[in-house]
Amino acid sequence: MKRKLAYFASSFALAGAIVFGASFQAEGIGAQSCQGQCKRNQTACENAATTQGQKSQCKKSYQGCISSCK
């Protein structure tokens, strides 16, 4: 039970960190810069991820970030 709770908490924290970091983008930055920032956030998330579930959460966060660029 503790492992499941720790997994959930770490997944939630990784996703939150990516969304939080992506929300600080300055206004007026072009779509190319936005997409680059999303990719850098995804790479950092995947490097920090320890399980396949966490890596899939990184991909979902990346897709949400890209959607917000448009």
The stretch 46-63 carries a mean pLDDT of 94
Tokens of 58: 């990184």
Question: How high does pLDDT run on average in the chain?
Answer: 76
With H, G, I as helix, E, B as strand and everything else as coil, classify residue 28. Answer: coil
d(CA 9, CA 28): 34
Other Cβ atoms within 10 Å of 21 Cβ, number = 17
Residue 17 has pLDDT above 90, yes or no: no
More confident residue, 40 or 4: 40
d(CA 50, CA 67): 26
Of the listed ranges 18-22, 41-45, 59-63, the least confidently predicted one is: 18-22
pTM score, whole prediction: 0.55
- For residue 68, CA distances in Å to 4, 48, 55 come to 30, 23, 20
